[in-house]
């Protein structure tokens, strides 16, 4: 019985000797003789090292505030949309239905100005809500999403969505809902107490925008489940006639953290975010506690939120090669799904919150699933001109759109301020030009159309011009209802050219 113990002891001695050799090789001091004057090995930085910043407490607050903005970007977007709804007089379960396409007062990230938006939100903390979507028809059809607080799409609607264009009732359930679920609904487990939707009503082939707006008012409803047997009269708010400002843009100041505090106190904490809860607590954002940061925390947060904005703006200005649309051209898609072709960025081993922030920094409301090879709609941006230079403020550029564009619905060239991602205020109140405007633009001899962007219209071509008002332009080209020629890349757009 003693031999096995002897063998085990020998085995352990040999292996400990090997470990010692490795340790000695990595750190010659590890096996040196004990010297009371030197003390223990390690346990502190190298001799001569100094603290890199004067105030470590401030540095920690700054770093954690910076990361919290990056982490919270998609949720901050949603709460800013809710603030915009409130600004025009809409509350939970009211519907904001624009009767006309958006103009510069629609202050939203990369919005379009071709078709009207329909938006609304519901606070499910008290009870579920029912969202009624009309069936697609010759008059109009919906394209859009219902999203949770973290802007993760919980339901697509319309022909590409859950109802497949047949319309119906979507039952929106809050987290942890355990009561019996009635029949006759598309049941949606939202995962959050706040849900928001943004739809575009696309007019049918023989319809128009006025009929599409009426399609919304006749068919869309949002009400608490308890009123399903006798739904209330729907409250609609139309900002279009009075050109009401619809202010959804992030503020990038201390109010960002006030909004973040509200989010944390309105929603359940997801397991993936528990580390962030500790980081937020260090800057005074905790569930169930008031937000009352001291002067140093405020200073750190105000600096961090500006730097987070600059980080996202500058990073997105350098597009990745994998997002290039055509070889030899300077166009890139601005739709950046995760590796699962979704927009959650929630992987088995990590939460890609930096990727998520860079995506939601310039675009909002993505479909649940995205087919990069054959997207329903294409969204592309010229990051550089034909010479390979970034588009600059104060310069004029031109691009020629061929007569035939593989767009089943429409194509559009929209212009935004690169600094904000929103439409540029200008005297023409013109945010873009599209296939709907061909009848008023001057066409080329081959029926193509050349569009100009810049501070001043070329002589005799104001109808083909989108004003930049001295802003650095961010251009977005939409192809709604993309067709085969786009998918197989037989359709190619020439680059934007600087007009001397």
The reported pLDDT for the residue numbered 6 is 45
Phi-psi region for residue 207, left (φ > 0), alpha (ψ -120 to 50) or beta? beta
Question: Residue 432: which domain range?
Answer: 319-498
Is 408 within the bounds of a domain?
yes
- Domain harbouring 147, CATH code: 2.60.40.1610
Q: What is the pLDDT of residue 40?
A: 86
- Angle (CA) 290 63 268, round 5°: 45
pLDDT at 12: 43
Segment 211-220, tens digit of pLDDT: 999 999 999 9
d(CA 429, CA 438): 18
Q: Does residue 20 fall inside a structural domain?
A: no
- pLDDT tens for 117-134 read 999 999 999 999 999 999
Q: How confident is the model at residue 9 (pLDDT cuts 50, 70, 90)?
A: very low
pLDDT band at 1, cuts 50/70/90? very low
Domain boundary among 243, 278, 309: 243
Q: Which of 243, 276, 300 is the last residue of a domain?
A: 243
232 with 356, same domain: the answer is: no
Instruction: Compute the average pLDDT of residues 178-188.
Output: 96
Average per-residue pLDDT for the chain = 93
Does residue 312 sit within a domain?
A: no
Summarised one tens digit per residue, pLDDT across range 17-34 is: 554 455 445 555 555 578
Q: Is residue 176 part of a domain?
A: yes
356: pLDDT confidence band, cut at 50, 70 and 90?
A: very high
Where does the pLDDT of residue 108 fall: very low under 50, low under 70, confident under 90, or very high at 90 and above? very high
Lowest mean pLDDT: which of 20-24, 57-61, 343-347?
20-24
User: Per-residue pLDDT for 15 more than 60?
Assistant: no
Beta bridge partners of 420: none
The two tokens of residue 80 are 């800013």
When pLDDT is averaged across residues 236-253 and rounded to a whole number, the result is 97
Same domain, 363 and 237: no
Q: What's the CA dihedral at 10, 12, 13, 14 to 10 degrees?
A: 90
My answer on whether 338 and 473 are in the same domain is yes
- For residues 227 and 330, membership in a common domain is answered with no
pLDDT in tens, 300-333: 999 999 999 999 999 999 999 999 999 999 999 9
The residue out of 201, 216, 243 marking a domain boundary is 243
Q: What percent of the chain has pLDDT over 90?
A: 89
In this structure, are 220 and 324 located in the same domain? no
CB neighbourhood size of 326 (10 A)? 15
223, 327: one domain: no
Q: Exposed (0-12), middle (13-18) or buried (19+): which is 373, by Cβ within 10 Å?
A: exposed
Phi-psi region of 395 (alpha: psi -120 to 50; beta: other; left: phi over 0): beta
Query: Looking at the domain assignment, is residue 76 inside a domain?
Result: no
pLDDT at 37: 77
Assigned domain for 60 exists: no
Domains in the chain, number: 2
Q: Is residue 292 part of a domain?
A: no
CATH number at residue 436: 2.60.120.600
Q: How far is CA 367 from the centre of its chain?
A: 11
- pLDDT for res 50: 94
Three-point CA angle 286, 290, 292, nearest 5°: 100
Neighbours of 443 (CB within 10 A): 13
Give the tens place of pLDDT for each residue, 245-279: 999 999 999 999 999 999 999 999 999 999 999 99
Residues 234 and 330 in one domain: no
Q: What is the pLDDT of residue 451?
A: 98
Which pLDDT score, from 0 to 100, does residue 359 have?
A: 97
Q: Is residue 27 part of a domain?
A: no
Q: Are residues 325 and 232 part of one domain?
A: no
Structure tokens at 143: 């394209």
Of 368, 348, 344, 366, the closest CA to residue 356 belongs to 344
Judgement on whether residues 333 and 478 belong to the same structural domain of the protein: yes
Least confident window among 25-29, 319-323, 340-344, 384-388: 25-29
Beta sheet of 407-417, edge-to-edge order: 331-333, 377-382, 473-482, 407-417, 432-434
């Amino acid at each position: 019985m003693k031999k096995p113990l002897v063998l085990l002891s020998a085995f352990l001695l040999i292996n400990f000797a090997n470990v010692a050799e490795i340790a000695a090789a990595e750190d010659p001091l590890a096996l040196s003789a004990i010297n009371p004057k030197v003390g223990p090995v390690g346990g502190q930085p190298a001799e001569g090292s100094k603290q890199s910043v004067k105030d470590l407490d401030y540095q920690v607050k700054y770093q954690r505030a910076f990361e919290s903005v990056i982490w919270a970007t998609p949720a901050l977007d949603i709460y800013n949309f809710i603030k915009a709804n409130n600004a025009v007089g809409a509350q939970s379960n009211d519907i904001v239905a624009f009767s006309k396409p958006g103009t510069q007062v629609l202050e939203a990230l990369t919005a379009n100005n071709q078709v009207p938006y329909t938006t609304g939100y519901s606070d499910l903390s008290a009870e579920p809500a029912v969202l009624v979507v009309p069936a697609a028809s010759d008059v109009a059809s919906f394209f859009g999403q219902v999203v949770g607080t973290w802007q993760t799409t919980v339901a697509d609607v319309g022909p590409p969505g859950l109802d497949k264009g047949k319309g119906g009732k979507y039952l929106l359930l809050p987290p942890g809902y355990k009561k019996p679920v009635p029949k006759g609904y598309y049941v949606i487990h939202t995962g959050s107490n706040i849900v928001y939707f943004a739809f575009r009503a696309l007019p049918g082939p023989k319809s128009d925008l006025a009929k599409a707006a009426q399609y919304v008012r006749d068919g869309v409803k949002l009400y608490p489940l308890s009123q399903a047997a006798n739904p209330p009269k729907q409250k609609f708010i139309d900002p279009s006639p009075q050109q009401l400002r619809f202010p959804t843009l992030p503020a990038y100041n201390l109010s960002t953290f006030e909004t973040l505090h509200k989010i944390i106190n309105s929603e359940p904490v997801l397991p993936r975010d528990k580390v962030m809860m500790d980081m937020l607590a260090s800057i005074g954002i905790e569930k169930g506690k008031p937000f009352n940061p001291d002067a140093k925390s405020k200073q750190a947060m105000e600096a961090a939120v500006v730097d987070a904005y600059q980080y996202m703006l500058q990073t997105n200005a350098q597009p990745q090669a994998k997002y290039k649309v055509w070889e030899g051209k300077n166009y890139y898609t601005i739709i950046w799904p995760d590796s699962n072709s979704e927009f959650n960025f929630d992987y088995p081993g990590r939460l890609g919150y930096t990727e998520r922030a860079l995506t939601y920094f310039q675009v909002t409301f993505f479909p649940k699933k995205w087919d990069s090879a054959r997207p329903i709609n294409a969204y592309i941006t010229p990051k550089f001109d034909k010479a390979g230079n970034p588009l600059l403020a104060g310069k004029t550029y031109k691009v020629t759109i061929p007569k035939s564009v593989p767009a089943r619905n429409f194509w559009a060239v929209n212009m935004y301020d690169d600094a904000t991602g929103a439409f540029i205020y200008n005297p023409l109140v013109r945010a873009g030009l599209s296939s709907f405007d061909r009848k008023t633009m001057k066409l080329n001899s081959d029926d193509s159309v050349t569009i100009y962007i810049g501070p001043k219209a070329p002589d005799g071509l104001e109808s083909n011009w989108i004003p930049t008002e001295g802003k650095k332009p961010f251009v977005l080209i939409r192809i709604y209802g993309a067709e085969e020629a786009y998918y197989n890349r037989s359709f190619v757009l020439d680059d934007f050219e600087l007009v001397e």
